[in-house]
């Protein structure tokens, strides 16, 4: 049969936000004062049962992508992608290196970053907490204590005071569930504790921290007579499914894990304390008979012998539609705050972006209010415990010189943004 050539445009709504996302510790360098710094990792070693020394498992970020110096270049790269949204985080340990002492230089640094991005016609989505904690905060037992809230809120207050209406979208916390799981349920991230009860307590503190930060930011804007702010958090949404549709046991496992991971933070922090939902979506987790309720046992994608990402994650574009559809019952707008793939094969990244955007397009068609999309990540960056091996970036970075080289996927994404949608050439 002769193949008919046609172009059908999957047009995204007018004013759709197209962006890229980054986080401070993963790209900046000079982060030697938080719980992921070399200094802290050495100290952590005693907590880790599975490694004599934390550095054996957790590579040091070193100078990362040198974005502390090269932030203007990064803004330029986002601008040349045609982005109208830029998501990045402020590094708490740089802004407040000692408890209660703020570093004006660091504050000015981020002020300029915001200014540059605004000048390039991008809206700002600012993450206040992206996995790292200042060492002084960890020494006070961090989020394990209720007192963590007063330190976090003091920091939030300082930031809104400084940048107030320059920020378009405030993100209180990045992936509270994912972070708690790695840090306290699985114990593979600082502070490397494997304690479910303590983790649950930490999770509750994070939910309360979100709610209070939400109220604080809204109150600040109200008192100053500013237009209402947009405050949310970023939820790590996973699609879960069971292999055996006939098995009640597997279905129950999916039910519990799914609700705990995707819904519990919203419920705990209170549905009304969210102006929008930030969504990170990467993969699907499969549950089978052998899968216990322990987090790490849900990762069994390797058994399927499919094409996985370099993180060994199962690629499942349809899952982004499913989680959006499910969470739509809360009636909030969504912004995809992260979606991306670790791969050395850039053509796979292109396919990944295309297929996930297609699902988002159909979610919008189904009446779901998705307002924006950020690809994770602009640069090949420091991928936490995995170091520099996984390549998520649209731009390659030479870690020695800091030289940035856009990949084909960068050009591909730039074209999508320019067209405000996808053109199919078949
Ligand atoms: C995090 C990022 C991380 C990405 C890829 C998200 O969970 O917010 O910091 O690099 O996933 O693993």
Ligand 1 site-directed mutation target among 280, 309, 341, most atoms within 8 Å of CB: 280
Cα–Cα distance for residue pair 345/348, rounded to 1 Å? 5
Cα–Cα distance for residue pair 182/296, rounded to 1 Å? 9
Cα–Cα distance for residue pair 352/318, rounded to 1 Å? 11
CA atoms within 13 A on the CB side of 92: 27
| Residue 292 burial (CB count, 10 A) | 10
Quote the pLDDT of residue 4: 47
Cα–Cα distance for residue pair 141/310, rounded to 1 Å? 34
Q: What's the gap in Å between 225 CA and the centre of ligand 1?
A: 36
CA torsion, points 97, 98, 99, 100, in degrees to nearest 10? -80
Q: Per DSSP, what are the bridge partners of residue 127?
A: 89, 171
Ligand 1 site-directed mutation target among 338, 342, 386, most atoms within 8 Å of CB: 338
Cα–Cα distance for residue pair 282/334, rounded to 1 Å? 16
Tell the residue nearest (CA) to atom 10 of ligand 1: 383
Quote the pLDDT of residue 1: 43
Q: What angle do helix axes 346-365 and 318-327 make, rounded to 10 degrees? A: 30
Nearest to 22 by CA among 382, 325, 288: 382
Ligand 1 site-directed mutation target among 171, 295, 383, most atoms within 8 Å of CB: 383
Q: What's the gap in Å between 322 CA and the centre of ligand 1?
A: 20
Q: What's the gap in Å between 413 CA and the centre of ligand 1?
A: 20
Q: Identify the segments of the chain with pLDDT beneath 70.
A: 1-8, 47, 49-56, 289, 291-301, 424-426
Contact 81, 410 (CB under 8 A): yes
Quote the pLDDT of residue 55: 62
Ligand 1 site-directed mutation target among 131, 376, 382, most atoms within 8 Å of CB: 376
Cα–Cα distance for residue pair 416/426, rounded to 1 Å? 16
Tell the residue nearest (CA) to atom 5 of ligand 1: 383
Contact 280, 171 (CB under 8 A): no
Cα–Cα distance for residue pair 339/375, rounded to 1 Å? 5
CB within 8 Å of 171: residues ≥ 6 apart: 87, 89, 125, 126, 127, 128, 232, 233, 234, 278, 337
Q: What's the gap in Å between 134 CA and the centre of ligand 1?
A: 19
Ligand 1 site, CB within 6 A: 23, 26, 174-175, 178, 236, 280, 338, 376, 383
Q: What's the gap in Å between 203 CA and the centre of ligand 1?
A: 18
Q: What is the DSSP string of 320-387?
A: HHHHHHHHGGG---EEEEE-----S-HHHHHHHHHHHHHHHHHHHHTT--EEEEEEE-SB----GGGT
Tell the residue nearest (CA) to atom 9 of ligand 1: 23
Cα–Cα distance for residue pair 96/33, rounded to 1 Å? 10
State the Cα angle at 230 between 420 and 417, rounded to 5°: 10
Cα–Cα distance for residue pair 373/42, rounded to 1 Å? 37
Cα–Cα distance for residue pair 343/78, rounded to 1 Å? 20
Q: What burial letters (b/e) apply to 296-316, b meaning 16+ CB within 10 Å?
A: eebbbbeeeeeebbbbebbbb
Tell me the pLDDT of the chain averaged across its residues.
93
Strand ranges inside 231-276, DSSP E: 231-242
The minimum-distance atom of ligand 1 relative to the CA of 178 is: 7
Q: What's the gap in Å between 245 CA and the centre of ligand 1?
A: 30
Nearest to 191 by CA among 151, 144, 260: 144
């Amino acid at each position: 049969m002769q193949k008919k050539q046609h172009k059908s445009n999957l047009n995204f709504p007018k004013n759709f936000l197209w962006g890229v996302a980054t986080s401070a510790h993963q790209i900046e360098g000079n982060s030697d004062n938080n719980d992921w710094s070399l200094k802290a990792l050495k100290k952590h070693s005693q907590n880790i049962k599975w490694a004599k020394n934390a550095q054996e498992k957790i590579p040091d970020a070193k100078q990362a992508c040198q974005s502390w110096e090269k932030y203007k270049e990064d803004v330029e790269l986002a601008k040349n992608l045609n982005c109208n949204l830029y998501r990045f985080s402020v590094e708490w340990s740089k802004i407040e290196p000692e408890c209660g002492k703020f570093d004006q230089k660091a504050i000015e640094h981020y002020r300029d970053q915001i200014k540059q991005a605004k000048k390039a016609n991008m809206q700002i989505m600012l993450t206040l907490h992206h996995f790292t904690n200042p060492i002084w905060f960890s020494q006070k037992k961090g989020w394990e204590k209720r007192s963590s809230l007063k330190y976090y809120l003091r920091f939030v207050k300082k930031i809104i005071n400084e940048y107030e209406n320059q920020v378009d979208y405030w993100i209180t916390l990045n992936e509270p569930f994912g972070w708690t799981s790695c840090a306290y349920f699985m114990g593979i991230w600082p502070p490397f504790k494997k304690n479910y009860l303590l983790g649950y307590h930490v999770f509750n503190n994070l939910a309360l921290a979100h709610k209070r930060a939400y109220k604080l930011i809204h109150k600040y804007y109200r008192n100053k007579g500013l237009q209402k702010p947009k405050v949310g958090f970023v939820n790590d949404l996973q699609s879960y499914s069971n292999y055996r549709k006939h098995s009640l046991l597997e279905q129950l496992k999916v039910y519990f894990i799914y609700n705990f991971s995707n819904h519990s933070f919203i419920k705990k922090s209170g549905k009304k304390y969210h102006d929008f939902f930030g969504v990170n979506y990467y993969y699907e987790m499969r549950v089978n008979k052998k899968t216990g309720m322990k987090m790490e046992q849900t990762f069994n994608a390797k058994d399927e012998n499919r094409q996985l990402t370099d993180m060994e994650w199962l690629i499942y574009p349809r899952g982004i539609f499913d989680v959006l559809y499910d969470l739509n019952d809360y009636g909030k707008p969504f912004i995809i705050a992260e979606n991306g793939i670790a791969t050395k094969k850039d053509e796979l990244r292109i396919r990944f972006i295309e297929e996930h955007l297609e699902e988002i397009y159909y979610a919008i068609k189904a009446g779901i209010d998705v307002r924006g999309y950020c690809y994770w990540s602009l640069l090949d960056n420091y991928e936490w415990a995995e170091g520099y091996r996984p390549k998520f970036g649209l731009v390659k970075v030479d870690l020695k010189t800091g030289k940035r080289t856009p990949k084909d996927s960068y050009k591909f994404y730039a074209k999508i943004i320019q067209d405000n949608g996808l053109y199919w050439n078949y």
